[in-house]
Structure 1
Amino acid sequence: MTATIEQQLNIVTPSPVQRLKVNWPGSEKLRLFIKRDDLIHPVISGNKWRKLKYALSGAIDNGVTEIISFGGGHSNHLHALSYACMELDIRLIALVRGDYSEHPTATLKDLQSWATQIHFLDKKTYARRTEPDFIRQWQSAYPQALIIPEGGSQKQALAGVGEIYTELTEEFDAIVTPVGSGGTLAGLITAQPLSTLIGIGVLKGEGYLERLVTDLLPGGILTPWQILHRFHCGGYAKVSAELTTFCQDFNRQTGINIEPVYSGKLFFALQQLIAGDYFSPGSRILALHTGGLRT
């Protein structure tokens, strides 16, 4: 019997749902839960696996030996994809925003150790990453390569993300998730849960993030959703002293590790929303831990 891609990569699903026990002001009025997608895999965790699942399984089925993808120097997407490609014997060509050749991040050091071919692009060039001419240029250079968009966010990712909802055994009034490239929120919306979906923008992108999500959505979707934009702490990978302290306190209080780029901003936002009576008393709230602990 041929091993599934989950078996090949040692992916563990479904991820557990646990009570979130915190002593935040107002939290006693609510029932808080956390879906531990960070436990899916030590490296290919959370929404990174969800968004890559069907792209990678399709690549294996079609005999793909090269993949091109995009991200910054701290990209959790590239980190997860690089490890998966190493395990699946696929060469990854990573197009990275900014020149880190003299001072590679921990993420990029891992990519190098996993035999990823890295190309550093200046910000102006990287900004063209979705333009057809730019895509054709790289497809011409690597004619056999599969191109996966930044963050893994593409229509093919929606089904993998939607499996988050199918794993739930009970309903929640609201599901809260971080938003960076839009694929996770779009996948949850497509699954059409009964819950209200709340995205926490982790970068400066009011309007931009909404467009990323809506561009991925099929028609006829009625699930209510919104993205809140006041918790990005200055932008992508920007960290305030308040956020750093919050993450440290959360780790100590719950025993659940979070980082300041994605999951930290999610739970920081949740704390602030609860303090401001954003949710009706008695509401059942599910926070999605999307992994990405390596920053």
Structure 2
Amino acid sequence: MMLSIFACDDVPTTKVELPFADGVELFIRREDLLHPEISGNKFRKLKYNIQAALASDCQQLLTFGGAYSNHIAATAAAGRLFGIKTIGVIRGEEIERIYLDNPTLKKASADGMRFKFVTRTAYRTKESQSFLADLKREFGDFYLVPEGGTNSEAVRGTQEILQEGDQQYTHICCAVGTGGTIAGIINRSWSHQKVMGFPALKGDFLTEAIAQYAQQDNWSLVSAYHFGGYAKYNADLLHFISEFERNTGILLDPIYTGKLLFGIFDLIERKQFAKNSKILAIHTGGLQGWNEKIK
């Protein structure tokens, strides 16, 4: 049976006025408004994972993330709402001493999540059988959700971002972290559309990660707007985010959506989109850490 909290009405779409656009139109799908605690792509990624966990009678979820992880925050909130125990394996053992000073982890703890803090070296082995076996010995059986939430159930959920009326758009653009969101969008897109992903981090590994789940080849990655890598940003990006909110009333974050819209604006200004292009940008949420002045 569908979990009522994951039943959502039509998500609003906002047109952004672009005086420099020369016939190009830009719209933003407000996935950030889906839920106050489980917003955006985390809502989509957790939807079918939560259902699978409940169907298997599993009593706890275990997942991975950094100290300001949107995925950690959303998983903890979902656990509280559905009465499922949650465990977060957190990158950086030094954080254990001060985690209550961290707004993301403090909230996740209040939502009932237990933590295991591991060194960055150990964290890199988190997908190994020996690492997972050690976790099962410590915590007992659990339903595993990967870092960032991307798996086949997550892609099933992110496919629901696009709706029937979205055939009108020529381009669908979204930020890319682990690749699950863009993979779902690719699978639901129409053949005449171009799906463009804007990676928030450096590296070429994302192409392979996305191809693992993508069922069409109408996509590409735009890698020029990561601003130095994950969680890296500068004064230009922060100024853009501030001006964007002032002009539209829409808050972006500097980790994902700010880079996405900065890149789209730059490409439009440089006339990289054909005249009469109609772009749909996906606002994937991710504001909880930024709202707390993540540094």
One of 201, 204, 211 as aligned partner of 2:202: 204
Match of 1:31 among 17, 20, 25: 25
Partner of residue 134 from structure 2, selected from 133, 137, 158: 137
Rounded Cα–Cα distance in structure 1 between residues aligned with 2:190 and 2:103? 37
* Matched-pair contact (CA < 8 Å) for 1:203–1:234: yes
Counterpart-to-counterpart distance in 2, 1:199 and 1:182: 9
5+ unaligned residues in a row in structure 1: which ranges? none
Give 1:1-295 correspondences, 5 Å limit: 4-5=2-3, 7=4, 9=5, 12-23=8-19, 25=20, 27-98=21-92, 99-104=94-99, 105-166=102-163, 168-194=165-191, 195-205=193-203, 207-217=204-214, 221-295=215-289
| Whole-angstrom distance in 1 between the partners of 2:127 and 2:266 | 35
Query: Could you tell me which amino acid in structure 2 is paired with residue 111 of structure 1?
Result: A
**Higher mean Cα deviation, 193-202 or 12-21?**
12-21
Q: In structure 1, how many angstroms separate the alpha carbons of the residues matched to 2:133 and 2:8?
A: 36
The answer as to whether partners of 1:244 and 1:260 remain within 8 angstroms in 2 is yes
Which 10-residue stretch deviates more, 109-118 or 161-170?
A: 161-170
Q: Tell me, in whole angstroms, the C-alpha distance in 1 between the residues paired with 2:124 and 2:166.
A: 41
Q: Report the CA distance between 1:11 and its aligned residue.
A: 5.5
How far residue 171 of structure 1 moved from its aligned partner, in angstroms, is 2.3
Give the deviation of 1:140 after TM superposition: 3.6
In the TM superposition, residue 142 of structure 1 has moved relative to its aligned partner by 3.2
Deviations 1:84-135 (A, max 9, x none): 1011111111011113224432211111111110111111111112223222
Displacement of 1:42: 1.1
Q: Secondary structure at the match of 2:288?
A: coil
Structure 1 counterpart of 2:292: none
Q: Is the 8 A contact 2:167 2:190 kept in 1?
A: no
Using the size of structure 1 for normalisation, the TM-score is 0.91
Question: How many residue pairs align between the two structures?
Answer: 285
Q: Is contact 2:18-2:25 (8 Å) kept?
A: no
Q: Contact (CA 8 Å) 1:14, 1:167: kept in 2 or not?
A: no
Q: 1:10 to 1:153 in 2, by over 3 A?
A: closer
Tell me, in whole angstroms, the C-alpha distance in 2 between the residues paired with 1:118 and 1:135: 15
Partner Cα separation in structure 1 for residue 199 and residue 219 of structure 2: 13
Shift of 1:275: 1.4
Cα pair distance change 1:34/1:91, threshold 3 Å = same
Instruction: Kindly provide the amino acid, as one letter, of the partner of residue 193 in structure 1.
Output: W
1:152-208, Cα deviation, whole Å (9 max, x unpaired): 100111111111123544421110000001100111122242311100010112x21
**What fraction of aligned residue pairs are identical, expressed as a percent?**
33
Report the TM-score, using the length of structure 2 for normalisation: 0.91
Indicate the SS of the match to 1:29: coil
Specify the SS of the correspondent of 1:137: helix
Check conservation: 1:55, 1:156, Cα contact below 8 A. Answer: yes
Alpha-carbon contact 1:259-1:293 (below 8 Å) kept: yes
Q: Secondary structure at the match of 2:89?
A: strand
- The answer to whether the Cα contact below 8 Å between 1:203 and 1:236 also exists between their aligned partners in 2 is yes
Letter in 1 for 2:66: G
Find the aligned partners of 2:22 and 2:248 in 1 and give their Cα distance.
15
List gaps (5 residues or longer) in structure 2: 290-295
Can you list the C-alpha shifts for 1:40-67, whole angstroms capped at 9, x where unaligned? 0111011111111101012122222101
The alignment partner of 2:162 has SS state of helix
Read off the aligned partner of 1:160 and give its amino acid letter: G
Q: Kindly indicate whether the alpha-carbon contact (under 8 Å) linking 2:187 and 2:216 is maintained by their aligned counterparts in 1.
A: no
| Structure 1 contact 22–254 (Cα < 8 Å) conserved | no
SS at match of 2:202: coil
One-letter identity of the residue aligned with 1:164: I
